[in-house]
Chains A and B, each alone.
Chain A
Amino acid sequence: MEHDQKHELTSSLASPFPSKEDAADKCILIYDDDQEILFLCKTILTKKKYRVETLSRCEHVISDIDRVKPDLILMDLWIPNIGGERAISLIKAIPALGHIPILLFSANADIKDICQKINADGYIAKPFDVLTFLHVIAQHT
């Protein structure tokens, strides 16, 4: 039963993106202070064969990246200890990390403006549509 459901979900999730079947080797690093969100994202993305690393604090963002070596970073804005904006600016300050796309991942109503302001690579507004979520991630990996 459980297997059937998972299969269903996988197939329905997979169906829009048939070309991304090989996404399994991509690593996505998600910063969020809410464990539920982290679990949700991990669930969805794992089903799509992404490797997912989640963190709920962002002050060690540089060392985290060094350790995880992500292909994409989702960054919440209101996150301990230094906040998403500050964390992104820390990453952007290091040219060697400039190639890693960073998406803002927030419930903030002004997410679009903030995204432009801090020169992030894109954003996913919470709450999100699951298909849109996968689509945006696929685009940036």
Chain B
Amino acid sequence: MPNEPLITSKNLFPVVGIGASAGGLDAFKQFLQAIPEDSGMAYVLVQHLDPTHESLLPELLQKVTRIPVEQITDEVKIAPDHIYIIPSNKMLIANDGVLKLSPRTAKKMDRHLPIDLFFQSLSAVHQSHSIGVILSGTGSDGTRGLKAIKDQGGITFAQDESSAAYDGMPRNAVQAGVVDFVLPPEKIPQKLLDIINIYGVNETSGMVASAAQINEAAFKQILSVLRLRKGTDFAYYKQTTIRRRILRRMALNKSEEPAAYLQFIRENKQEQDILYQDLLISVTEFFRDKKVFDNLCESIIPRILKSKSNGEPVRVWVAGCSTGEEAFSIAICFKEVLGGKNDKVQIFATDISEPAIAKARIGLFKKNDLENVSPQRLHDFFSKQSGEYRVNKDVREMCVFAVHNFLKDPPFGKVDFISCRNVLIYMESYLQKKALTTFHYALNPKGFMLLGKSETISSVPDLFAPEAKSDKLYSRKDGPGKFIQVATQRIEQNLQGSHSDTKADNPLTDIQRAADDVILRKYMPDGVVVNEVFDIVNFRGKTSDYLEQLGGKPSHNLLKLAKRGLAFDLRNILHQANTEKKAILKESISLHENIPGSETGIKQRIISIEAIPLNTIEPHYLILFHETSALKATKKKDERRFKKDDKDLLIQNLEQQLVQTHEDMRAITEVQESAIEELQSANEELLSSSEELQSLNEELETSKEEIQSTNEELTILNQELLSLTEQVTDARDYAEAIVATVHDALVVLDRNFRIKSANQSFYKKFAVNKEETEGVVLFDLGNKQWNISGLHEFLHNISSENGQISGLEVAHNFPLVGEKTVLLNASRIIEKNQGEQLILLSISDITQEKNARKQFQDDQNLRENQKDEFISIASHEMKTPLTTAKAYLQMLELALNKNDVDAILYAKKASEAVDRLNDLIGELLDVSKIRLGKLDFKITTFNFNDLIDSSVENMQLTSIQHSIVKTGTVSSEITGDQYRLQQVLINLLSNAIKYSPGEKKVYLTISQEKEQIKVSVKDTGIGIAQKSLDQIFDKYHRIEEHAVHFQGLGIGLFISKEIIQRHHGEIWAESEEGMGSTFYFTLPLGDTKPKA
């Protein structure tokens, strides 16, 4: 940092400092892309750059914006609509509107914080024109800089966390509370422009602090948050009201301290909006103060219309129209007065509240909004629309609704009638004055203004005159009204001092003017300027000859200061001038003076005085004193003094009497004046009391509106509550209706099993009624028919269990209703309000269900048996023709000529088919038996080897192509069903043969392991897909892919599995597609007696 102090820049455009570090490039790009070309601001980008590399930032950024991007060389003068970028390895400060570079500090004492450094210098130099923006980056650089900017009244931004690649820097700044706005980078420029446009470049954000009358900084801050968000400055609004509203929001948000609420509202944009709307109390109604509207219709509107003879439109401005009722009321009045005539009436209805304007535009009102609207008007100007009333289109079209702040935005012009009711009451007198001045400006010369009940024009008496005796109706006075353009104190000060400023600004260089001055000074009569109450506001020339300060309280009053003998005439001419509004001259006033050292001790002067009313807003008068002939008079007197005749004596006598009379009169006048003075002061007191009362009245009116709005809120809340209650009642009725209609009997018990309530179904089902049921212990109910032992336990358990027990089935002979089977479900209900523990017992009568189920089971069994029987009959019947077929085939084969090989083969094949058919029928029977669990086993102990051998032999007889290769033997005998086990072996062997067509061998391997026999049947055929392996033992499975080639029900394996499992063995298969399959089964050696 340089040692010399920084020089404040006179630049009147905002300078935006933008700091970023890691992740800054993207943020910069987004930011720059959003800057319009003519933003009127200068932008300085400070980026943490690698000191050892040349920065490419300017080139990169120039690609995304059309605003010139410059790398800063030393001593760059900042110009608006330019972007400046820090070069690498430099520190940057701003001084006197110039950007200066300094080498990066090599010292280690300071951390490298270029953003802080630059922002601090920016804030010192550009003060309230400085704007700081912190974008993506790590660390905390920039926070102190933003604070400096904020301290100087500048505006600060930070990138929001969600859009920042690295949120360290923005978050740090936000947490430090130095950030006004948290936004994504692309939205910052627009916001900036909004703020700058609202306040103009002369605006300083320090204003709130200097003007607000709240002591607590927090209140100020809250208002400034709103000002920044909404552009409405509440500083000059009635602070009592504002504070009440803020406190109300605080209470609603449970914030105890304004500071806490400030914190809350800063981060919560929604709350900002709510508070803003809350501050804009919108209370209004149709035809508020009926008398006013009657008068409007009877006299004012006709007068306005009359003045518009040449077809000009009548322009009306409803300022602060809220939700539009006032505007519509006035529109209706115009419509009524106009009758059918088509004179054009434009009503501009404005309000600062957007939601209110939005509502007004729709023009939809509830029935109770329309209480003051006569039925006739309701019929003429409203139409019903879904239960509400909508203002008719022709009336709506007369009104133009707009969001507008008449304290800030340019007013409408050439308005014939302004209504601004109960708006001023929220404002301090300064704003009232400003508003009234604005209205004066807006009104046509013969325009009218309507104010609220408690509002007056007292702050600007010269602009408006009360219209007759009507309520708060004023007509515009011609006067030098000045429209105060911008709502800042600074502007007002300028206005007040404007007269003197112009003079001082121009140095006296003009010779002619200098001469004029000399002449003026030399020949100008002495005089004073007085105001309405004759206080001197300006002395001109030497007035000591005419005025003197007597003893007592110092006074500026001309009449008090006037020398003896002059006051009387002064008063006369001032009075005359006041009434006649023209200059009044009074000549030949003799003035006696005691002059020590002169001959007579008295000097008599003849002077004339002139009172000229000045053409100013407040009445002022210029009093000029003309010395006519002081010396001459003295001389004359001297001459006469020596003529001592009678006449002289008489004259002298008379003169003395005259002097005496003068003295007397003077004394009387003085008494009178003091009386007047007292009256005056009493009057002033009255006035001030009146003002106090006025402000109290306004305060009361405000409170009334607040209460009214609170009342409305309460009404709405109440309605909501009512509707909620209704919903609750509905829900209850609904639930009760369900309970009443539900088929199951429901009983609610208390902790002592006393019945609290029961539903209809319960009464009906168990033949009891409500009276004998409620309040009775369940076990005592209906001849103790519920005294069931299981039930006691069940209900006691409910307390210990997790409040839910279900499915206790109780078969009980109820003395009153007979044998029933019921299913009990119970759950514990805890009533939140009473904390009472209740038990809901639901009793389903499942007697019928139970019976039906039993019936069904019986039927099922019967059906199964019938089916079984059918299958065995069917198979039997099928076997009969099979028997004859087989025998005849065999006989045919035997009868054929041995040489007829083909015929013998055909007969053999037919025979085999018949055999297979027979096997299938057998399997079918087996499956049916397995399913019914009726597969019988004949258990014997036998030699397993023999079984194997006979099976192989059997198989070999029918399969000529394949030879069965048997290996291994078993020494032990086993116990089991020989026939069934053979069935398994044959099944496996025939499968192996069947699924290996073209192969020559299948392999049967037997081995004896520890406690079991293991048998494997292996073929080298087509194999089984892995996915099918698990399923091949399922019932009716057939290997899909082979379905075309190999027929069969595929139930053989299912039966085999059943047989092996019943022998406590296992059966499984291993296979690889195309390589063949191996089927295994094991049989335990010990007790292999099949399961039942």
A positions within 8 Å CB-CB of B: 5-6, 8-9, 12-13, 34, 36-37, 40, 43-44, 78, 106-110, 113, 126-131, 133
Contact = CB atoms under 8 A, between A and B. Distances in A.
B882 interface: yes
Contact of B895 (A8, A107, A108): A8
A44 B374 CA distance: 123
Nearest to A47: B891
7 contacts: A9-B895, A37-B884, A107-B875, A110-B936, A127-B886, A129-B890, A133-B887
B884 A107 contact: no
A40 B880 contact: no
Interface string B903-926: 000000000001000100010010
Interface string B927-940: 00000000010100
B875 A36 contact: no
Nearest to A129: B890
Contacts of B657: none
Given A12-B895, A37-B883, A127-B885, 20 more contacts: A5-B895, A8-B897, A12-B894, A13-B894, A34-B880, A37-B880, A44-B887, A44-B891, A106-B876, A107-B876, A107-B883, A109-B872, A113-B938, A127-B882, A127-B884, A127-B887, A129-B890, A130-B890, A130-B891, A133-B887
A109 B922 contact: yes
Q: Which 4 A-B pairs have the closest CB atoms?
A: A107-B879, A127-B883, A126-B883, A127-B886
Given A5-B895, A8-B895, A9-B894, A109 B875 contact: yes
A74 to B, nearest CB: 12
B894 A128 contact: no
B888 interface: yes
B876 A128 contact: no
B883 A109 contact: no
Interface of B: 872, 875-876, 879-888, 890-891, 894-897, 914, 918, 922, 925, 936, 938
A139 B894 CA distance: 22
A109 B918 CA distance: 11
A48 B890 CA distance: 16
A128 B883 contact: yes
Chain A interface helix/strand/loop/mixed = helix
Contacts of B887: 40, 44, 127-128, 130, 133
B894 A36 contact: no
A1 B936 CA distance: 50
A36 B886 contact: no
Nearest to B918: A127
B922 A36 contact: no
Contacts of B896: 8
A40 B894 contact: no
A108 to B, nearest CB: 6
Contact of B884 (A9, A40, A109, A133): A40
B882 to A, nearest CB: 5
Nearest to A76: B880
A36 B880 contact: yes
A137 to B, nearest CB: 13
Contacts of B879: 107, 126-127
Contact of A8 (B882, B883, B894, B914): B894
Nearest to B898: A8
B874 to A, nearest CB: 11
Nearest to A106: B876
* Most B Cβ at <10 Å: residue of A106, A126, A128: A126
B871 to A, nearest CB: 11
Nearest to A77: B876
A22 to B, nearest CB: 22
B851 to A, nearest CB: 37
A112 to B, nearest CB: 8
Contacts of A128: 883, 886-887
Contacts of B914: 127
Contacts of A6: 895
B928 to A, nearest CB: 11
Nearest to B880: A34
Contacts of B922: 109
A133 to B, nearest CB: 8
Nearest to B888: A40
Contacts of B895: 5-6, 8-9, 12
Nearest to B938: A113
Nearest to B929: A109
A8 B890 CA distance: 13
Contacts of B918: 127
A133 B423 CA distance: 126
Contacts of A109: 872, 875, 922, 925
A13 B891 CA distance: 9
Contacts of A110: 936
A17 to B, nearest CB: 14
Nearest to B914: A127
A133 B890 CA distance: 12
Contacts of B883: 37, 40, 107, 126-128
A33 to B, nearest CB: 9
B909 to A, nearest CB: 16
Contacts of A8: 894-897
Nearest to A15: B894
Contacts of B897: 8
A133 B894 CA distance: 15
Nearest to A109: B925
B898 to A, nearest CB: 9
* Most A Cβ at <10 Å: residue of B886, B891, B897: B891
A107 B878 CA distance: 9
A69 to B, nearest CB: 27
Contacts of A130: 887, 890-891, 894
A31 B888 CA distance: 20
Contacts of B885: 127
Contacts of B884: 36-37, 40, 127
Nearest to A78: B876
A98 B880 CA distance: 29
Contact of A36 (B881, B890, B938): B881
Nearest to B882: A127
B876 A9 contact: no
Contacts of A36: 880-881, 884
